Amino acid sequence: MSRARAMWQRLPTPVTGLALVAVAAVDVWLNMGEHTPLELALAAIGCTALAFRRRFPLGVFLLTLPVALMQDVAVAVLAALFTLAERSRNRRLLAVCVALAAVASSTPWPLAEVDRTMTLIFFVYGLATAAAPVLFGQLLQAQRDLARRLAEIEEAKEHERALHAQAVLARERAQLAREMHDVVSHQVSLIAVRAGALQVAAKDADAKEAARTIRSLSVTTLDELRTMVTLLRASGGDATELTPQPTLADLRKLVESSGTHAQLTGELPPTVSTPAQRALYRTVQEALTNVRKHAPGARARVELWQASDGIGVTVTNTPPTRPSLSLPGSQQGLVGLRERADILRGTLEAGPTAEGGYRVRLRIPLSAD
């Protein structure tokens, strides 16, 4: 059945339209008995209208209804119903059309004395007959929708795979950049330092020139290496990550230069791991930035604390004393902090206080530290 439908769909639209008109006309000719010129004209109009069923499905169905009066089961009516159901999503309209087709097929023609029992039986059969093409049309419509949806899902998956491949490539490039910066640049810097020392200490002119040349080439190599590392990190992260990462020792300077009335209290042991120190630093940095942007004039307190099962920092600010300015923001600061906390199996809590201020609290378990 699917192969036949595929062959039918491959035919040009005018050809299928003419073929359906011919089939409907033959069906009317074989099933109509004695007919008047009016009946013949109505049947001809209904059959011919099938050629335009795709553009005007409802109008074509209404034009084929007179054919249903003349015979019990008409191909023209069924074809019109199928096309209407295939293209319409109005279930109420389809139900009304099924009822109209059943009424037309069960109404005696020409009008004569009506046997109510037989008319009711014919009406029930007409309903079943008219419902069949509607169900097939709706099924085909659902199949097309499903195919379209599957195509969209496959396209989204392909896009996701492409993004994943780009992310993997970015991580590899970032890792390569870090390795080049941490290893190669360190070795080349040592070469440059040793060459500089040799240039100062050497007595022979040729040795001095050779040392100067080595030092010059080393400096040039370092400049080219930094350029290459920057290019590698272009899709793998921010080039500023090549600078030394902040630690807890930089917190006091951060608080003092934050541009807010902030106070740092508490301390943590120096044994805190480097990832935990960076997470604590970035949390304080983001919290103080938000205070400066959204709570002008507020006072902030940065408290480092240590418990039996973890370490953390709490940044609390008072309500603002001045209206805040409308400053652009990515709305991703707290999201990034939560991601850092999740990586360390910690938690980040952020929300307003009862006094009208705001509190950000990061907790990192000792097991992660």
DSSP string, 211-274: HHHHHHHHHHHHHHHHHHHHHHGGGTS-GGGGSPPP-GGGHHHHHHTSSSEEEEE----TTS-H
CA distance 56 to 284: 67
CA distance 224 to 192: 14
Query: Residue 317: what pLDDT?
Result: 95
Cα angle for residues 86, 88, 92 (degrees, 5° grid): 120
Please name which of 362, 336, 365, 329 lies closest in space to residue 348, comparing C-alpha atoms.
362
Question: Is the entire prediction scored with pTM above 0.85?
Answer: no
Please name which of 179, 198, 304 lies closest in space to residue 242, comparing C-alpha atoms.
179
Is the Cβ–Cβ distance between 321 and 298 less than 8 Å?
A: yes
Helix (H, G, I), strand (E, B) or coil at 34: coil
Query: Residue 104: what pLDDT?
Result: 78
Residues in the chain, pLDDT under 70: 1-13, 32-35, 108-116, 174-175, 177-190, 193, 222-223, 226-227, 229-245, 324-333, 368-369
Query: Residue 163: what pLDDT?
Result: 84
